[in-house]
Amino acid sequence: MKIALCIKQVPDSWAEKKMGADQRLDRASVDAVLNDLDEYAIESALTLVEANSPTGEAGEGSGHTITVISMGPERATEALRKALSMGADDAILVNDDALAGSDALATSKVLAAVIAEGGYDLVLCGTESTDARMSVIPAMLAERLGFAQLTFAGKVSVEGSNVKISRQTEFGVEEMSASLPVVVSVVEKINEPRYPSFKGIMASKKKPLVTKSLSDLGISASDVGSSAAWSSVKDSLPRPPRGAGIKVVDDGNAGTQLVAFLSERKLA
Amino acid sequence: MSNVLILVDSVSGKVSKSTAEIATFAKRIGDVTAVICSSDSAVLIPQLSVLSIDKTITCTGVEFEKLSTGAVAAALAAVVAKESPSAVLIASSARGKEIAGRLSVRIESGIITDAIDLDADLVATQSVFGGSTTVHSVVTHGTPIVTIRGNSIEAISGTGPSTHEEVAVSYDGDRAAVSSVAPAVKSGRPELTEASIIVSGGKGTDGNFTPVEELADALGGAVGASRAATDAGWYPHSFQVGQTGKTVSPQLYIAAGISGAIQHRAGMQTSKTIVAVNKDPEAPIFDVADFGIVGDLFTVLPQVRDGVNAKKA
Ligand SMILES: Cc1cc2nc3c(=O)[nH]c(=O)nc-3n(C[C@H](O)[C@H](O)[C@H](O)COP(=O)(O)OP(=O)(O)OC[C@H]3O[C@@H](n4cnc5c(N)ncnc54)[C@H](O)[C@@H]3O)c2cc1C
Ligand SMILES: Nc1ncnc2c1ncn2[C@@H]1O[C@H](COP(=O)(O)O)[C@@H](O)[C@H]1O
């Protein structure tokens, strides 16, 4: 397997977020971290390789490679380094000033170009970036690349060139399978991501991390970024904070007070 | 008069409530054509007769249930090419968003996901950053594709479709195949994302969901759970509310024994009325509650249940 692992650096979900004057998330004002849902994808990539490696380990000698890919600003290298320290083999950052403000369509176009160029046959993603929260990138990648789509996996295994997943949907628990090349996105129930070991952290410093620009990928700057976005924000307003609610300490009849409150609002 | 396509969403032969809701939004914009990509079309069409839908198009020739969402996106793209609609509206479920995403790549059109409102001029309203910011957006390229969150509107009824068409479609795309489906266990309660009332339990239930279920039943609502509760195996994962569970927006959300972590709030913060029952007066859930009770859920919930039942009697 030649695995492409897509990860994103996002604003810390605990930080208070606000819109900048350009109607985009003011990213400079908040701490950035690796999208926590992508850690599960990293762990999945490592366990899949370990399960299919003669040595039982990822890395050289496993017969498989894991390349972490991220599109984002320079500081997204921190997220890539973290994935390398967990055990991925090499990393690609796509960084270009023209990418600022890219929507999901442009992001998927760029990621698809990197994946096509590298000849990967298994693409692993998280299910959602905690900032964009669109959950559409994996499906868009499958559409662009013509790869089979196995998304929202709660379990994943690879045997030869056959990929199997099981997932929970509104229809029940579905078993799905497809032959490589495949795009898989994983949900957070799938595993417990490992912590980078000291050895892993030291080794990651020597692992290759290349930065690509749009021209390296043959993508025109006019096809990406905020000016090429196919949707635009007209305005954004902070929502008035919820009016301070009623808070009662139960002295034996708070439940009854709640019933009165609910019937006043015609909810009970 | 412009024409709007909506994708009919259904589970086990039953049209979802979200279909009635997106039809209501679509009617603001123009005539509504409901597209059916399901082998259940014969049982789905009669259910559309009370909705604000003018026409149905059933896509035939593909076994959608066995394929990935790429097949539905391809079918919709074929219908878009034929009908030239002014917009395509889809429910904002995980599946709906995938279909919308693939469709937007296929027909080279802009997409807006998770809208909570859509006006006649196709200006969409979204609630972002856990409900703290409201954004208005428009699609500026191609045929606007908008996915709409459940419970965003009170569905209106209509006279139903007067025209029915079939369109033969094909899919040569990805070969991901569904090999088996173990149907979800039906609880007899409303579907979580469709329910207008949800009572959720967390770690504070200590594994005993009885008071939560009994209150939900008294109110005719659905049961939800925090991740701490689903991780502990107290409730199935499909009932998890939050960032990695379902996003819900009911009229009433009651959180019992849930602290209100940001990942939980991300999935319920746009609920119209929020009630919290928690022993800890400092629990962050109280910051978003319209009515907070500092107390023990095992005494408060049964009292509420009895009060609600007494009012019904
Ligand atoms: C990547 C990621 C994704 C996540 N996604 C989700 C998600 O989708 N949904 C989600 O819910 N969480 C999610 N979480 C977990 C989240 O951070 C919290 O850990 C979780 O929501 C806590 O659940 P809880 O409130 O039930 O438990 P706790 O935080 O332990 O809170 C229990 C509360 O119950 C109260 N309590 C105890 N006994 C009683 C009693 N008898 N009566 C009344 N109150 C009582 C306590 O005071 C306490 O406030 C996610 C975390 C991560 C890292
Ligand atoms: N800029 C990016 N670079 C690399 N991977 C990304 C990027 N944005 C999204 N992804 C991947 O796509 C998944 C879904 O993200 P989203 O569609 O933005 O909610 C994430 O979990 C990542 O695996």
Of A127, A176, A249, the CB nearest to B179: A176
Task: Check if B120 contacts A (Cβ < 8 Å).
Answer: no
Q: Which residues on B lie below 8 Å from A248 (Cβ)?
A: 291-294
Q: Do A148 and B175 touch (CB under 8 A)?
A: yes
Best to test chain A binding among B123, B263, B264, B303 (most A CBs inside 10 Å)? B303
Average pLDDT over residues B41-70: 95
Q: How far does the CA of residue A215 sit from the closest CA of chain B (Å)? A: 22
Pocket test for ligand 2, best of A39, A105, A114, A137 (most atoms within 8 A of CB): A137
Nearby residues of B120 by Cβ (< 8 Å), 6 or more positions away: B28, B29
The predicted pLDDT at position B38 comes to: 95
ipTM associated with this complex: 0.86
Question: What pLDDT shows up at residue A137?
Answer: 95
Residue A34 near ligand 2, beta carbon < 6 Å: no
Residue of A nearest to B275 (CA): A258
pLDDT value at position B113?
94
The least confident of B52-61, B126-135, B284-293 is B126-135
pLDDT at B279: 98
Contact assignment for A171 to B11 by CB distance below 8 Å: yes
pLDDT, tens only, B205-244:
999 999 999 999 999 999 999 999 999 999 988 899 998 8
Relative orientation angle of helices A104-118 and B94-107, to the nearest 10 degrees: 80
Average pLDDT over residues B56-81: 96
Closest by CA position to B262, among listed A102, A172, A15: A15
Tell which wins on pLDDT, B266 or A204.
Answer: A204
Please tell me the distance in Å from B200's CA to the nearest CA on chain A. Answer: 16
What average pLDDT does the segment B105-129 reach?
93
Q: What is the rounded CA–CA span in Å between residue A53 and residue B26?
A: 53
- Tell me if B281 and A249 make a contact (CB, 8 A cut-off): yes
Considering chain B, what percentage of its residues have pLDDT values greater than 90? 81
What is the reported pTM?
Answer: 0.87
Q: CA of A112: how far to CAs of A64, A217, B275, in Å?
A: 20, 10, 45
Please judge whether B132 and A250 are an interchain contact, meaning their C-beta atoms are less than 8 angstroms apart: no
Give me the residue from B135, B174, B292 closest to A147, CB to CB. Answer: B174
- pLDDT value at position B235? 93
What's the residue count for chain A?
268
Test site for ligand 2: of A94, A105, A107, A141, most ligand atoms within 8 A of the Cβ: A107
What's the pLDDT at A13?
57
Rounded to 5°, the CA angle A54-A60-A63 comes to 50
**Residue B130: its pLDDT value, please?**
66
Q: What is the pLDDT of residue A130?
A: 66
B186 and chain A: CB distance < 8 Å anywhere?
no
Could you tell me if the CB of A125 is within 6 A of ligand 2? Answer: yes
CB contacts < 8 A, A to B, total: 258
Name the nearest CA neighbour of B155 among B275, B258, B52, B280: B52
**Within a 10 A sphere around the Cβ of A21, how many other Cβ atoms?**
6
Distance from CA of A268 to the nearest CA of B (A): 6
Higher pLDDT, B106 or A245: B106
* Cα B227 to ligand 1 centre (Å): 6
Nearest by CB to residue B294, choosing from A230, A247, A268, is A247
Residues A172, A66: contact at Cβ < 8 Å?
Answer: no
By Cβ distance, the residue of B175, B191, B303 closest to A256 is B303
Q: Is the CB of A6 under 6 A from ligand 2?
A: yes
Instruction: Answer whether residue B187 shows pLDDT above 90.
Output: no
Instruction: Please judge whether A142 and B127 are an interchain contact, meaning their C-beta atoms are less than 8 angstroms apart.
Output: no
Instruction: Say whether residue B229 is in contact with chain A using an 8 A CB cutoff.
Output: no
The pLDDT value given to residue A172: 82
- Whether residue A134 has its Cβ less than 6 Å from ligand 2: yes
**For residue B251, which of B223, B272, B274, B276 has the smallest C-alpha distance?**
B272
**Angstrom distance (rounded) from CA A63 to CA A55:** 10
**Beta carbon of A76 within 6 Å of any ligand 2 atom:** no
- pLDDT at residue A31 in the model: 73
State how far the alpha carbon of B165 is from the alpha carbons of A156, A224, B36, B57, B158, in Å.
Answer: 40, 39, 10, 5, 19
Q: Tell me the DSSP string of A109-157.
A: HHHHHHHHHHT-SEEEEES--TTT----HHHHHHHHHT-EEEEEESEEE
Interface mutation vs chain A, best among B244, B246, B262, B305, most A CBs within 10 Å: B244
Residues of chain A with pLDDT under 70: 12-30, 130-133, 241-243
Mean of per-residue pLDDT scores for chain B = 93
Residue type, B267: G
A133/B109 touch (CB, cutoff 8 Å), yes or no: no
Residue-level pLDDT at B180: 83
